[in-house]
Amino acid sequence: MKRKNHKQKDFPAKQPKLDEPIAEHLVALSLKPVECGALSETENLEYEKKYINSQRRNRTLEEDRGPREPNPSSIRKPKKKVALLMSYAGTGYHGMQINPLSSSIELDLHKALAASGAVSQDNAMDPTKSSFVRCARTDKGVHAAGNVVSLKMSLDDGIIGMINEKLPPQIRVWGWSRVPNKFSAKVMCDSRIYEYLLPTYCLKDVDPSFYPHSNVALNANFDISKLDRKLNEPQELPPIDKHHLEKLQSYRAPPEKLDELKEILAEYKGTKLYHNFTVGKTSKDKSVKRYIIDFQCGEPFVRDGIEWVSCKVLGQAFMLHQIRKMIGLAILMVRSGTKKDLIQHCFGEERMNIPKAPALGLLLERPVFDHYNEKEGTKEDRDVIDFTPFQKEINEFKERWIYKAISDTEKNEGQFADWLRLVDQCSDDYSWFLNTKNCFDLGLQPENLFKKGTKANDEEELVDEDGEE
């Protein structure tokens, strides 16, 4: 029987060709998923046209561009290189980075910078002209309590307030730090802290029939010979009904479950090969070597009747889906009773498939610039990059726009419950390493798991989660 692909996918938006006319309906595709800012539809459309035209110029040979027509209404202002400190809720956006024909945090930010006068009209919507660099590139639907971008902009009195007036309220700019012209928000960043909010019902023991080789099945004395389905074939599980969802969300994790999770997360610490935690990479690729400084799990808390636990990871840089796959594997291991020893087998040459946990629970807490602050931040005409002065406002923003969005979405839609259902539909793809040996058992691995056309090879083109190239 041919294997079916049951995994959820985020399909990339269609990229326009550079010679295509600019669609008049662009404004309907790119803006303000939750609430509107102060820009009119006419302004929005005009700025989008400017952005796409700037991309055409940047990708055309210099001798073929022709002279650039000056804007007679543009006022030249003194510009300074700054690090801009910001927060945003990723709900409704296709990520941080600009992608034409898709809503993005950067696109709305560039519009606000241009409309407020922070960037001149001649340079409006052309990130290369303002030396724009992001510190962390977040994925579709991922939030940021703190992110940093560097650029050249004018520093008129009240400029931060003017920028925020032109932004949707789910994007806020808090302040700026004066930095040298050579500063890059990406290159100068020491590390990044991400938080993942997880409903604890995801840690509940799984049905042994889905993972017949696991410790949960062993402890339940499950007899695999009485399994009423064929192994290594996808199953069709019914959608989660309201009653079942409410029962799941009333679950409270015992301390031993949380202890298991903490032990598993601690195994990620150190420099490891993360080719199994992204897509399109092998263990021989130098870029898969990543350094995880710390990975901790906090104490559980209840919100809107659901028990949550906060997991925070500190690392130098992360690849596409890396954090979500790290969390995804940890969830599978706790559910199936797999011991922490399995983690170290994941960094070898053997291939494995790991489902990525939902984007709903992921947010960038903040980037860390300790080395820069110590070396450059104390010099004259320089500022440290520090979110502390804005912490009260950031906490209020997180509560209103991030935590509330995560909690409300899970309460009403049960995204984590549906994710568990989709994972269990293809449980045999994972049960070969979720076994009582706590290591890879190649004898249990489905033969066609990594063949062309299966879900392990059917993922998006690789782009690093935080902008690493």
Residues with catalytic annotation?
Answer: 139
Report the Cα 455 to chain-centroid distance in Å. 21
d(C-alpha 385, C-alpha 407), whole Å: 30
d(C-alpha 469, C-alpha 453), whole Å: 27
Binding-site annotation, residues for substrate: 194
Buried b (16+ CB within 10 A) or exposed e, 44-78: bbbbbbbbbebbebeeeeeeeeeeeeeeeeeeeee
DSSP 465: T
Residues 6 or more apart in contact with residue 291 via CB below 8 angstroms:
270, 271, 315, 316
Residue given tokens 């402890």 in the structure block? 219
Residues 6 or more apart in contact with residue 13 via CB below 8 angstroms:
94, 99, 100, 101, 102
The tokens of 168 are what? 């949707």
Residues 6 or more apart in contact with residue 42 via CB below 8 angstroms:
none
d(C-alpha 260, C-alpha 338), whole Å: 9
What are the start-end ranges of the H helices in 267-403? 322-336, 342-345, 370-375, 391-397
d(C-alpha 153, C-alpha 279), whole Å: 37
d(C-alpha 98, C-alpha 126), whole Å: 11
Q: Angle CA(332)–CA(245)–CA(417) in degrees, nearest 5?
A: 30
The tokens of 75 are what? 């006022």
Residues 6 or more apart in contact with residue 437 via CB below 8 angstroms:
none
Residues 6 or more apart in contact with residue 413 via CB below 8 angstroms:
none
d(C-alpha 300, C-alpha 261), whole Å: 12
DSSP 59: T
Among 100, 7, 5, 88, smallest CA distance to 321 is for 7
According to DSSP, the β-strands at 143-153 and 362-368 are: parallel
